[in-house]
Amino acid sequence: MTIRLGDTAPDFEQDSTIGKIHFHEWAGKSWVVLFSHPADFTPVCTTELGLTAKLKPEFDKRNVKVIALSVDPAEAHLEWIKDIEATQHTVVGFPIIADADRKVSELYDMIHPALSATATVRSLFVIDPSKKVRLTITYPMSTGRNFDEVLRVIDALQLSDGYTVATPGNWQDGDDVIIPLTVQDPALIEQKYPKGYKAERPYLRLTPQPNK
């Protein structure tokens, strides 16, 4: 199944390190980061899960729930968590889906047969409170993810949802933002962007971040 931006994230029920999870019910009204790992007791995944655990305060303040996935059973996950916590010096405070039957992996197209017939690639989905997929990133098995970028994109998505703005390349929280081309009425521009704007070109209008 191919999942595209704007699609409703498929619902599922699957075992995990905190018991059976009904995904949409578990997600509730939060944003969600769902990300997969090729297998338990693998080095890159261990560092990723440790980093994610350390970033929990950052996810919490953005109303984001994090949930990982591997195709190993829950018992193996629980043993692996001990290693993650010991080697990465943190506490894993989020569930890991036990997708032993690969139901979720296939539902979210996480298995790429040209790389492995059984292990998942490093797929990551950002899902908003209405259960819409807002971001997909796929990394190869050998490359660990950049979670600073995941947080940056969530900031940008939440800002765009709250205000009619777009974000330029390499945007960071606090930088100027872009007035979309869909906004052309001068009266509406004055209302929506009271801090004013600078037009580099008629189609490129920069305004201070509205919530700063």
Per-residue confidence in pLDDT tens, the chain, 212 aa: 689 999 999 999 999 999 999 999 999 999 999 999 888 999 999 999 999 999 999 999 999 999 999 999 999 999 999 999 999 999 999 999 999 998 998 899 887 544 544 455 579 999 999 999 999 998 887 888 999 999 999 999 999 999 999 999 999 999 999 999 999 999 999 999 999 999 999 999 999 999 98
The predicted structure's pLDDT at residue 118: 47
Catalytic residues, by residue number, are 45
pLDDT at 38: 81
**Beta-carbon contacts of residue 116 (< 8 Å; ≥ 6 apart):** 38, 141
In 3D space, the residue among 74, 91, 90, 86 whose CA is nearest the CA of residue 40 turns out to be: 74
- Give alpha helix (H) positions in 4-89: 23-27, 43-54, 56-61, 74-88
Please name the amino acid found at residue 152: R
Q: Do residues 104 and 97 make contact, with C-beta atoms less than 8 angstroms apart? A: yes
With tokens 């949930």, the residue in question is: 67
Identify the structural domains of the chain with CATH numbers, from first to last.
13-144 (3.40.30.10), 163-207 (no CATH)
E strand or H helix that includes residue 161: helix 147-162
Give the pLDDT of residue 121: 55
Give the per-residue pLDDT at 115: 53
The structure's pTM equals 0.92
The number of beta carbons lying within 10 Å of the beta carbon of residue 188 is 11
pLDDT at residue 117, rounded to an integer: 45
